[in-house]
Chains A and B, each alone.
Chain A
Amino acid sequence: MANVKFNRAVFEKEIGKLDEKMQERISLFGTPVESLNEETLELEIFPNRPDLLSYQGFKRSFLSFLEEKTGFKNYPFNKPEKDYEVKVDSSVKDVRPFTACAIVRGLKLDDPKIKEIIEIQEKLHATVGRQRKKLAIGVYPLEKISLPINYKALEPDKIKFQPLESQKEMSGLEILQKHPTGKEFAHLLAGKIKFPVFTDSKGEILSMPPIINSEITGRVSLDTKDVFIECSGFDFFVLEKALTIIVTTLADMGGKIYQMKVKDKVTPDFKTETLNLSLEKTNRILGLELDQKNLKKLIEKMGHNYKDGKVEIPPWRMDILHEIDLIEDVAIAYGYENFEPIIPSISTIGGENSREVIKRKISEILAGLGLLEVSNYHLTKKPDQFTKMGVSEKEEFGFIELESSKTEFNIMRKDLTHYLLKILSENVDSEYPQKIFEMGRIFFLDKNKRIAEEERLSIAVTPGNFTDCFIISI
């Protein structure tokens, strides 16, 4: 889950006043408002829409949704110029095989824009990038590097450059061992014989993806006008989409997009996909009675182009796998608030699980006998389950362990009794007699070492009426 923060003043100037109605429009667009104050609007962006992670991307789609600028937004782009090329060496094949790159020129950057560029990178890393595993992005000031670029893998000790936020040159291994960012992402290169790097035509190292850029050649500043962008990873489709999201964001900031030659491809290719959208199916699934004209209007509100049952999908959309995804876009454009809920006229017979019926009967009987039902976690601790119950370490067997539990609990409960005794020990302040029971699932390994689950009942009753004891002592 990713939250993005937009500047409220900019939003209100460019999109509209953030009154209650606007907030509702935003939620009904599928981006819940998390918080709003004087300066900042915070939205939740669902993982299927990384194209909304930047303010520019959000504005593009949301204005269309508000019917300000519907349909497909075309971004002009330029063919690769001389040396606009990334040579991909075969050595990266086993480390980080793919890259998609572009150049954007003519940017006029200020601090908020630089911040937005850094943020969209970070958000993409965290979401579709799977914490840089699947996708890592680098942005470099073009004035500091000389084209063409090389993408290759080198032995760690042959990699020497000054990483961001560092005062001195470090080797590939040193970065993973000592640099804070290097340490954080070291696991992504663990066990690799060679590490991937981008170098410029002079052999200067620009970065070591997916870890870190060079301080010298990889830091965008207020003076930067032209940038080189690379996305590296394992799934070319994802790289191309992420690159498209970034370059269109930069274009919306005023930049001009230039393609680059990458191996045998040209990226970004801005190729759009076309999917069939059946009016009949849309109406059937949504329970509506739209006509072609309505359908065109609605689907274009969501930033697509529509013609004769075919939808042209913008290249920054990553989430359209199937016609059904377009149908959802139609539903969002139609407005979830405008659907009239109805109960279908189908008839079925309801019924409870027989196990639950029996459990309820038992618990009613026990409650009738004055017993109080308690409810414990299904997870427990070894000392509670075994040691405190007088089971020595040697006799602990047949229990199920949890891997990497973040909680204080590390095994599944094998019985309920130890929990009931624990409750009694924690409730010595409550009036006696105490009579408690619990019914629930317990877990163990059966004789074939398979996980087994069983319903159990456990009862604990403390003896005696302590008020009587008081009278006797007078």
Chain B
Amino acid sequence: MKKLIESLSVIEKKVLPYLEGKSISEICKKSNLDKVSVLRALEYLQNKKIIELETEKKKVVDVGVNGALYRKKGLPERRLLFLLKEKRIASIKDAEKESRLNPEEFKVSLGVLKEKALIEIKNGKIILSASKEEISKKSLEEIFIESLPIDEDNLTDEQKFSLKNLLKRKNIVEIEERKKFLIKITSLGREVMNSKDISKELIEQITSEILKKEQNWKNKKFRRYDITLKVPKIHGGKRHFVNYAIDYGRKVWTEMGFEEMGGNIAQSSFWNFDALFTAQDHPVRDMQDTFFLSQKTELPEKRLTESVRLSHEKGVSGSKGWNYNWNEEEGKRMVLRTHTTVLSARTLADTKKEDFPKKYFAIGKCFRNETVDWSHGFEFNQTEGIVIDPKLNFRHLLGYLKQFFKKMGYEKIRFTPAYFPYTEPSVEIHWFHPEKKIWLELGGAGILRPEVVVPLLGLDISVLAWGPGFDRILMDYYQIKDLRELYKNDITQLRKMKSWMRV
């Protein structure tokens, strides 16, 4: 019993003394609470078995939007009548203007007054025919409006008549179905109401005011809380799950001593392809595979452009090159970058010998002109790393790959030969899927070809590079089967999505 009383909330306590045989609106008045709070309090009390609530559905007549307004300002016909009381006679036009009624209200008012024989209309003029008493007497409708709300079942004949008239007019009265509550106090409820403990003051909420002064809290009790109650869901904010993963990738790279490269998504073909020794007739340079933009851009400085040209046409550093005429205009065409390797190419061109050793990485969106299905998208995330130093070799590349993928959660991996236009030797990284029992491709890597490094860096050294797609890693982790899920933006799903957690 004591516990029960200690668990009563403020609103419950407030309504408790006024429950006996009262309507909701009466309880509101007495307890000085709004209807929402009273209803809530009643519900709580019912849950605690202090009262029993029975609901009864009733049709209630109440004022509508216009009705509420007219209750304050008077019905339109009343306002017109007052105007005529002064003038006794007026042209319809003037009356409409001076009465400040809208055309509809005015029309209705004329009709109503005419029907009640309070006015006559002759030759476009309104003539008042009502006596003083008739003017000052409240109409049935007015009385009715003032008396609202009334249960439909309790209407008198007069009221029914008024209702019928008013229903013809716009939004003056409404018939609503309302729930009516019948409150029954249980025996437990009686006990609670009669208990001495009910008047004890409990601490509802901690405030700094309470805590500051000892007398405010010493020997006082907290109200009990029911922790089994259902509470509203709070959807906390969070980042998009892809970005959590990308941030983790970023952490892995920086832990390994790599500096982040940034750069544009729209790039010239020169940087995206030519600088990476991708011949101008290579299929990836078709509009079928790559998004081209109609804009063109300038090529970089002549020295660089010419050494890239040489690399393609005749080859550099002992290479045969691709043996064709390299076209400058083709290099100026803008594309949406097809790989983050374009950032590596630009970075290589900016790196100086004095800066060695250098390690760079990038994570970002890349694009290909492709229709979307479960495993392919026209946008994808790629991550990219390069290591620049004269002393590097193939085993170092494999060492970094092993370390990188281990940190990304892939223990059992293997390396197989591969082909990319800009690396040699090239490597494909495979991961052994423990459930599917097959090797799945994780990404590509290699040592950048001299035809790439020499024109950009001016030196013939081994530059290690790898650029695994990031989406496969994401999909594995979040167990997403369809790539399109990454861009679905289903708010319910995003709220439920687990966060990236890898230590």
Q: Which A residues contact B (CB, under 8 angstroms)?
A: 27-30, 32, 46-49, 130, 133-134, 235, 237, 284-288, 321-325, 327-328, 331-332, 336-337, 339-344, 346-353, 355-356, 360, 363-364, 366-379, 400-407, 409, 412, 423, 426-427, 429-431, 434-436, 441, 443, 445, 449-451, 453, 467, 471-472, 474
- Residues of B with C-beta under 8 A to A29: 417
Say yes or no for B401: interface residue by CB 8 A criterion: yes
A336-B427 in contact (CB<8A): yes
B292-A376 in contact (CB<8A): no
B179-A372 in contact (CB<8A): no
4 further A-B pairs in the complex, CB-CB below 8 A; given A133-B281, A400-B295, A412-B266: A336-B416, A355-B262, A430-B491, A450-B295
Q: How far is the CA of A366 from the CA of B395 in the complex (A)?
A: 44
Q: Which residue of A lies closest to B487 (CB)?
A: A377
- Residues of A with C-beta under 8 A to B256: 350
- Residues of A with C-beta under 8 A to B257: 347-350
Which range contains the number of B residues in contact with the other chain? 35 or more
Partner of B254, one of A321, A352, A400, A427: A352
A372-B494 in contact (CB<8A): yes
Chain B 467-503 near chain A by CB (<8 Å), digits 1 or 0 = 0000000000000000000110111101100000000
Do A471 and B260 contact each other (CB < 8 Å), given the known contacts A322-B320, A374-B489, A407-B371?
no
- Residues of B with C-beta under 8 A to A342: 395-396, 398-399
Say yes or no for B431: interface residue by CB 8 A criterion: no
Say yes or no for B18: interface residue by CB 8 A criterion: no
- Residues of A with C-beta under 8 A to B265: 378, 441, 443, 453
Do A429 and B492 contact each other (CB < 8 Å), given the known contacts A286-B393, A348-B259, A350-B257?
yes
B417-A351 in contact (CB<8A): no
A-B contact count, CB below 8 Å?
264
Q: Which residue of B lies closest to A374 (CB)?
A: B489
A401-B294 in contact (CB<8A): yes
Tell me, rounded to whole Å, the shortest Cβ–Cβ distance linking A423 to chain B. 5
A350-B395 in contact (CB<8A): no
A402-B293 in contact (CB<8A): yes
B287-A404 in contact (CB<8A): yes
- Residues of B with C-beta under 8 A to A370: 235-237
A339-B357 in contact (CB<8A): no
- Residues of B with C-beta under 8 A to A429: 492
Q: How far is the CA of A339 from the CA of B315 in the complex (A)?
A: 30
Do A285 and B260 contact each other (CB < 8 Å), given the known contacts A346-B357, A369-B237, A471-B39?
no
A324-B424 in contact (CB<8A): yes
B261-A353 in contact (CB<8A): yes
- Residues of B with C-beta under 8 A to A375: 240, 242-243, 486-487, 489
Q: Which residue of A lies closest to B55 (CB)?
A: A474
B331-389 with Cβ < 8 A to chain A? 334, 336, 357-359, 365, 367, 369-372, 378-379, 387, 389
- Residues of A with C-beta under 8 A to B391: 344, 346
Do A27 and B240 contact each other (CB < 8 Å), given the known contacts A351-B254, A378-B265, A441-B265?
no
Partner of B259, one of A47, A285, A351: A351
B414-434 with Cβ < 8 A to chain A? 414-419, 424-428, 430
